[in-house]
Amino acid sequence: TDYGSSLTVSLPAALRPHQPFQIIVRYTAADGPAIWWLDPELTYGNAKPFVFTQGHSVCNRSFFPCFDTPAVKCTYSATVKAPAGLQVLMSATQSTYLEEEGVYQFYMEYPVPAYLVALVAGDLIHADIGPRSRVWAEPCLLPTAISKLSGMVERWLTAAESLYGPYIWGRYDIVFLPPSFPIVAMENPCLTFIISSILESDEFLIIDVIHEVAHSWFGNAVTNATWEEMWLSEGLATYAQRRITTETYGAAFTCLETAFRLDALHRQMKLLGEDNPVSKLQVKLEPGSVNPSNLMNLFTYEKGYCFVYYLSQLCGDPRHFDSFLRAYIEKYKFTSVVAQDLLDSFLNYFPELKEQCVESKAGLEFERWLNATGPPLAEPDLSQGSSLTRPVETLFRLWTAEPLDSVAAASSVDLTKWRTFQTVLFLDRLLDGSPLPHEVIKKLSECYSSQLDSMNAEIRIRWLQIVVRNDYYPDLYKVRRFLENQMSRMYTIPLYEDLCTGTLKSLALEIFYQTQNQLHPNLRKTIQQILSQGLNPLPAIDTTAVTADTPAMVLEDKVSEATNGAISLRDVNVSA
């Protein structure tokens, strides 16, 4: 299968206990879920081929022989030979380049799980953006990356260190990948991978990078021992991310971003149902039956975050909880843990809470947090963000009031002066209410369409989804124009799903046949599957070198079939 079969090596009977030994496995890595080959046309520069790997969760077994479980950590070294003119990078603490031989050598001196071994090669150049950070990108993208991140990463690292202790990985570099990268970002140690498409959306870029910075402590240094408890990395990293943004951008901004994500969590809950087992923090996996990447959903992040936030509130002061997390990192760094390790450490660190039996508080039992389906048992107080969220709520009420008699007041709002997260929160709520009365969608377009045209892709795709779900024909040309210029999953799949759910499948087919050659074979295959639903098989499309579609952003097949996949895909489009 795409995810391999086990290799069993019998050790010599004469081998003494604990005696060191070496195993050499000679192998060839064919096309597989971890390795993404790109022709030059699929890069921004269109000049040179490109390759990157994506190991999360269990893909790296198609890259190299390994114990592909987060419970096992080891150091690694690698020797990579590449053609002249291609820069090779890996998630390693040390690297050298022998120019005469065209050989790169890498070494990761700290133990990491297999999924954090990553490689990228292509037409990449770099610039320093801080004392221990540099950004790598294709030449045409580097100036934008510098302008967005210069000085910022060091600010975020310093804030994280003040909360959770020293950054232990040495360098924190970032490489921007072509739009074929199947997720938004990946926390590979020393070298965060980020999709280039996010560069135009400043606030999303900030959150995505800070989330990956937080993983340097939660996920990379201390790792969940089993994919059944992925929240131990993602929930803690999301909590740490929001502590960092509170320190650097204030509580109001953090509460706004949290409100946006929790809205998405409840949207996903409506789709899946409150008794769906994937909504548990401790998901039970039958060995070999489910790809853990299918569990990359908002429960892992936001329900996990809510539990961690609840623990912090038990302490009375978030700074006391910060101190606990520093001690937790120091105790368990370079190891893998289960939930009980975290919770036992928490109760031992705060003996007064243990005496109060907080783990058994009625309705908020730790066991219930971990194993109950449905929404979080408690959610954070976001009132500190009311200065940013209240205008969104007011404007939404104006547009959804019956009868629509407040157009003048609503149209006076200048969305160009709003934060991105305010605008996407407003548009997401309009999406939830679609289809809207024709009069409403017509007035919305008259008021905001031209403003939204000049905004970033995170905002534009939401408006275009509203256009599609409401069959608003005057703005359909903007949908075509958007899809003609997008090559990433995050900005194509939601629109194709919406087009095919409604009455506009013929438009989707037309756009796809015009643009398919600019899409990665994996993405092309996914869109073809969307277009094929309810139709006779589509004409054969050249999918040379198609590999198994990396499922990092998709829920289980039975879930996506039974629900409106467009919403679910948008809502789980989050950083790893």
pLDDT of 539 strictly over 70: no
Query: d(Cα 144, Cα 389) in Å, to the nearest integer?
Result: 30
pLDDT at residue 551, as a whole number: 31
pLDDT at residue 295, as a whole number: 76
**Residue 108 identity (one-letter amino acid):** M
Start-end of H helices in 74-226: 142-149, 152-164, 202-215
- Quickly state the pLDDT bin for 569 (edges 50, 70, 90): very low
Least confident window among 362-366, 468-472, 486-490, 501-505 = 501-505
pLDDT at residue 3, as a whole number: 67
Structure tokens at 75: 């150091």
pLDDT at residue 534, as a whole number: 58
Query: d(Cα 147, Cα 511) in Å, to the nearest integer?
Result: 34
- Quickly state the pLDDT bin for 403 (edges 50, 70, 90): confident
State whether the Cα torsion 17-22-27-32 is positive or negative.
positive
pLDDT at residue 293, as a whole number: 78
Segment 210-239 mean pLDDT: 97
Residue 355: CA count within 13 A, CB half-sphere: 3
pLDDT at residue 13, as a whole number: 87
Segment 288-310 mean pLDDT: 88
Segment 454-469 mean pLDDT: 97
pLDDT at residue 80, as a whole number: 97
- What mean pLDDT value characterizes the chain? 91
Segment 410-415 mean pLDDT: 89
pLDDT of 225 strictly over 60: yes
Compute φ and ψ for 357, nearest 5 degrees: 55, 45
pLDDT of 397 strictly over 50: yes
Asked whether the beta carbons of 183 and 553 are under 8 A apart, the reply is yes
Query: d(Cα 293, Cα 567) in Å, to the nearest integer?
Result: 18
Residues serving a catalytic function are 212, 301
pLDDT at residue 550, as a whole number: 31
- Residue 520, annotated as binding a ligand: no
- Quickly state the pLDDT bin for 2 (edges 50, 70, 90): low
Each domain of the chain, given as residue ranges in start order, spans 35-199, 223-381, 385-532
pLDDT at residue 406, as a whole number: 75
Report the helix count and the strand count for the chain, using DSSP H and E: 22, 14
pLDDT at residue 269, as a whole number: 94
Query: d(Cα 247, Cα 418) in Å, to the nearest integer?
Result: 21
**CATH architecture classification, 223-381:** Orthogonal Bundle (1.10)
Query: d(Cα 532, Cα 544) in Å, to the nearest integer?
Result: 19
Asked whether the beta carbons of 495 and 482 are under 8 A apart, the reply is yes
pLDDT digits (tens, 9 = 90+) for 75-124: 999 999 999 999 999 999 999 999 999 999 999 999 999 999 999 999 99
Segment 497-513 mean pLDDT: 94
- Residue 211, annotated as binding a ligand: yes
pLDDT of 541 strictly over 60: no
Segment 34-51 mean pLDDT: 95
Classify domain 35-199 at the CATH topology level.
Answer: Zincin-like (3.30.2010)
**CATH architecture classification, 385-532:** Alpha Horseshoe (1.25)
CA angle at 439 for the pair 434 and 445, rounded to the nearest 5°: 75
pLDDT of 289 strictly over 80: no
Strands (E), 277-365: 335-337
pLDDT at residue 115, as a whole number: 98
Residue 3: CA count within 13 A, CB half-sphere: 18
Top-confidence residue, 29 or 417: 417
**Residue 28 identity (one-letter amino acid):** T
